[in-house]
Structure 1
């Protein structure tokens, strides 16, 4: 299936956007209206046999036009990139994270994830606040907490797991490498 189907859908919605790419298997569309009226569209394509690859196409739409976009692919890594933190929209290609002002679409900050994570890889952005950033390398799979003020980084499995659990996280490859730490944010807390 061609990505042009999405373009046709966007044109039907009155959005003008030209972009072609290949879509393969299980495709999901997620439209999210931001607090200040932008639309954050994520198209997810999970593919392979078994389905171990996923590609995300993200678009930020303002007044019927795509004003920002990115795409990123992951292999043997599942989860979601955070989309909104405070009044900022987050847009990543796995290597660079752009913080975008809700309402205007202006890029307010660009963060090099490879520099922060220490590896040339695609990173998931699993959490962000004024004080911290949570990223996970696709290949290694370890959740890293970055102090946004000092730049200090903490491998969370080293801080949270005992020695035996650390060794397991470092050597186990089923279903994929990594620490399997899942972070859930509750806005009520």
Structure 2
């Protein structure tokens, strides 16, 4: 799945659920009164930040909801109900707080809080200055205008959330951090060799218990017609290989893995894929490269390819310039342009001649039968006024 990241100097948000009850909380009415009496403005790097719940001043301390602090600072927030503690994680930073305690831990170092945590309607509020300064930010308070101004350090990370995982990318240095499960402290898994030019989006694929395929898509140019897909394999929390594939006008996410029945164990194994658009590298579940396929050599077309389907027996690829979906049979290296087998009449002619907005057909691969002899495709004909999506089947082995 593509995970969009906010690429301004406001850091992307975090998911945080909190449903807890504490003794002697501040009432929501009292908090609302405090917020209304002394409304607070928060600026970060010159931009105004509007939290979901209003901050307030209590006994001279500015308080902000913990969830909003997480969203502001790009952290992951995890509540442990057994000991009423909160852990906030970020690259190179772990902050631990316990409700009712005047102490906190920053990277395992105990520090004193100048004010206690507050509970408002089952939402925890944190002294804003403490958490901001614990991350290395500069915090200034203007009492006359009731404004908190935060200046963050330059090495801000872009964050993306996957299934039970969180990733952080330092766009400037290429440092990449991974937390899996998501509440764990981030681990530096390596650096990405990249020259980012535009807006970024993330895809996080957990292929098996030890392997992740991460894709960072850089969409650039005017009007955003350039695509650089940086894909890399993480094995046991370490980047072991990375590729960059470049595309023009047409981008389709590359297939990242497939499963196959291992005849030695009679169990299903997973292979992971990386591509630079020309070479496809295959890795086993130990992170070892076991095969490599040269797509220009196999297809006879010297251009960049998207890998849209894969198995131990075949690859389904689309050349970026000519755009015709192609099946490569890996058993005999035969090549079939699928529009010739699946389309007819006006649809076939359209696939061969159309070049708006790019050349090629509109076939979409979506799966195979258990024995992988039948390959299934979607097709939306430009001549069908009902906008009907058709299901088409290609038989790899003739009946």
- Asked if structure 2 preserves the Cα contact closer than 8 Å seen for 1:133 and 1:146, the reply is yes
1:51 aligns with 2:253: no
Aligned residue in 2 for 1:159: 341
Contact 1:32 1:41 in 2 (8 A): yes
Residue of structure 2 equivalent to 1:170: 352
SS at match of 2:306: strand
CA contact (8 A) 2:176 2:192 kept: no
> Aligned partners of 2:290, 2:193: CA distance in 1, in Å?
28
Q: CA deviation at 1:34?
A: 2.0
Deviation for aligned residue 1:25: 2.4
| SS at 1:145 equivalent | strand
SS in 1 for 2:364: coil
Give runs of aligned pairs for residues 1-189 of structure 1, distance below 5 A.
4-5=170-171, 7-10=174-177, 13-86=186-259, 87-102=270-285, 104-185=286-367
Contact 2:175 2:191 in 1 (8 A): no
Structure 1 residues 131 and 64: CA distance shift in structure 2, 3 A: closer
Q: TM-score, normalised by structure 2?
A: 0.44
**1:16 Cα deviation from its structure 2 partner:** 4.7
Kindly state the Cα deviation for residue 20 of structure 1 after the two structures are TM-superposed.
4.0
- In 2, Cα distance between equivalents of 1:119 and 1:53: 20
Shift of 1:167: 2.2
Contact in 2 for aligned 1:90/1:97 (Cα 8 Å):
yes
Aligned-residue Cα RMSD (Å) equals: 2.4
Give per-residue Cα distances to partners, 1:76-117, cap 9 Å, x unaligned: 112111001111001100110011002x11001011111112
Preserved contact between residue 211 and residue 235 of structure 2 (Cα < 8 Å): yes
Q: Greater strand share, 1 or 2?
A: 2
**Conservation of the 8 A alpha-carbon contact between 1:117 and 1:135:** no
Equivalent-residue separation in structure 1 for 2:284 and 2:342 (angstroms)? 34
Show structure 1 runs of 4+ deviating over 4 A.
1-4, 186-189
Matched-pair contact (CA < 8 Å) for 1:57–1:72: yes
Relative contact order (alpha carbons < 8 A, sep ≥ 6): 1 or 2 greater? 1
CA contact (8 A) 2:176 2:190 kept: no
Structure with the higher fraction of residues in helix conformation = 1
State TM-score, norm by structure 1: 0.88
* SS of residue matched to 1:97: strand
